[in-house]
Structure 1
Amino acid sequence: MRKAFVIVSALSLAAFALQFIFAAVGAFTKPAGDDAYALHSVNGMVVIPVLTLVTILFAVLAKAPGRTVGLAALPLGLVVVQALIAGLANGSTDAAGASTPFGLTIAGLHALNGIIVVHVVVSVHQAARRLANLPATDVAPVAVREGEPA
């Protein structure tokens, strides 16, 4: 299960890297229609959440420490924040439908949150690799107080 955890965390990291590429595709598509960000949207709203859930599952099955399982779950919450930020940025337009300074600032937070979530996913992948390199008996050690049975 540890190797599977490493593999799925690497796939998740790849999906997040592709997310930046898909955002650039949307930004540089001319003319920019409603479907310019289709790849970005599908990857961010379907592929990434599914891979994150699978990563959480494999972290649990690999008997990763609770902190690592929690770290594996964090991208799911950050993806929800991404969707909220994007919705707020897209909704922050003037009467003519043009971007406002407030909307553009919020859009910048969307990019910043994307960078943060990539750092989290990198940390998850590093934790998975460390776990995979431990001997099977070293998984999720439990602290035992002196005098208590192990």
Structure 2
Amino acid sequence: MRRAFVVASALLLATFVLQFAFAAVGAFTKPAGDGAYALHSVTGMAVIPALTLLTTLFAVLAKAPGRLVGLSLLPLGLVVVQALVASLANAFTDASGASTPLGLTVAGLHALNGIIAVHVVVSVHQAARKLASPVTAA
């Protein structure tokens, strides 16, 4: 199970890397229609939560310390924060639906939260690898 924990955490990390690429696809799509962020949205709202739960399940089955189990579940909470920040940023538009400085500032928090999530997943993956590594004799 420890090896499965390593693999699941690696898949979660790879998915976060793709998530940044999908955000760039949305940002650079011209004209930016409703579907510009489709890959980013689906990955963030479905794939990442599912992989986070799978990673957490393998952490529990691998008998990881409680702190590591909690850390492996943290990306799910950060995804909820991502959705809230995105909604809040969209709420700060002007009457014509255009972005405002306040909305753009709040949107910047979306990117910062994503960076924090990546750091959490890197930590989980490193800890999973350490947990799975054979113990060397002293």
Q: TM-score, normalised by structure 1?
A: 0.89
Q: Secondary structure of 1:36's partner?
A: helix
Shift of 1:91: 1.5
Question: In the TM superposition, what whole-angstrom CA distance separates every residue of 1:49-81 from its partner, at most 9, and x where no partner exists?
Answer: 000000000000000000100100111100000
Shift of 1:115: 0.2
Which letter does structure 2 place at the counterpart of 1:94?
D
Which letter does structure 2 place at the counterpart of 1:133?
S
Counterpart position of 1:50: 50
Is 1:37 paired with 2:37? yes
CA distance in structure 2 between the partners assigned to 1:132 and 1:32 by the alignment:
44
Counterpart position of 1:140: none
Is 1:23 paired with 2:23? yes
Shift of 1:134: 4.0
Which letter does structure 2 place at the counterpart of 1:96?
S
Runs of 4+ in 1 over 4 A off after TM superposition: none
Q: Which structure 2 residues correspond to residues 26-105 of structure 1 after superposition, within 5 A?
A: 26-105=26-105
CA distance in structure 1 between the partners assigned to 2:27 and 2:97 by the alignment:
18
Unaligned runs of 5+ in 1: 136-150
Counterpart position of 1:143: none
Which letter does structure 1 place at the counterpart of 2:86?
A
- For the aligned residue pairs, the C-alpha RMSD in angstroms reads 0.6
Counterpart position of 1:128: 128
CA distance in structure 1 between the partners assigned to 2:42 and 2:88 by the alignment:
19
CA distance in structure 2 between the partners assigned to 1:102 and 1:134 by the alignment:
51
Is 1:2 paired with 2:14? no
CA distance in structure 2 between the partners assigned to 1:45 and 1:73 by the alignment:
15
More helix by share: 2
Question: In the TM superposition, what whole-angstrom CA distance separates every residue of 1:64-111 from its partner, at most 9, and x where no partner exists?
Answer: 000100100111100000000001111210111110111000000000
Q: Secondary structure of 2:34's partner?
A: coil
CA distance in structure 2 between the partners assigned to 1:90 and 1:36 by the alignment:
15
Which letter does structure 2 place at the counterpart of 1:125?
H
Question: In the TM superposition, what whole-angstrom CA distance separates every residue of 1:39-58 from its partner, at most 9, and x where no partner exists?
Answer: 00000000000000000000
Unaligned runs of 5+ in 2: none
User: Which structure: larger Rg?
Assistant: 1
